Amino acid sequence: MKKLLLALVYTALVAGANPTGAIAADVDMQTVADLRDGDMKKLIIHSEPRPVSTAAFQLADDAGQRRLSDYQGKYVLLNFWATWCAPCRKEMPQISELQDEFGGDDFEVLTLATGRNSPSGIKKFFAENNIDNLPRHQDPKQAVAREMAILGLPITILINPEGQEIARLIGDAEWNSDSAKAIIKALVAQAP
């Protein structure tokens, strides 16, 4: 009788499991929250995922336009920056390290120069900082930035594979810190 009762309880637990993974996502974001240390303590973890902009942005070298929805299926670290932004100059090489270490099918760094940034100025900024692995995309009319309430620079957004904002860091941070890398590693480990 005891075995039957245990089997019924186990079956009920399995049958009652959340097929959408919402419970697992909550637990995983708590893990991410627990990994915050140093500058990463500024990373605001949202209690519920938030929608992202639907506006188009320009690809580098006039290669067309894309939307954030084009990146669904992987975790994205979206960095809003500008060529004139001193903290952006400091953190961009660190963000580049994340792309080197974790970039692939499950994670991508997406940089978006917001406002007035000339393509030649962006190329110069990347060359001066030895960055050759990040996109030079632009949001010249700040359409994406406006829809996402970007009020200063730099601001970095973490987007889940479903295309929703799950966390935000306002200002610069040590993106090559052990804490930042542990956070990205934890996210990539749970990628679909």
| Structural domain boundaries in the chain | 21-189
For the whole model, what pTM was predicted? 0.85
CATH topology assigned to domain 21-189: Glutaredoxin (3.40.30)
DSSP 72: T
Q: Pick from 149, 156, 152, 163: which is nearest to 74 by CA?
A: 163
- The tens-digit pLDDT sequence of the chain (192 residues) is 434 333 333 333 333 333 333 333 444 788 899 999 999 999 999 999 999 999 999 999 989 999 999 999 999 999 999 999 999 999 999 999 999 999 999 999 999 999 999 999 999 999 999 999 999 999 999 999 999 999 999 999 999 999 999 999 999 999 999 999 999 999 999 888
Q: Can you tell me the distance from the alpha carbon of 10 to that of 30, in angstroms, rounded to the nearest whole number?
A: 25
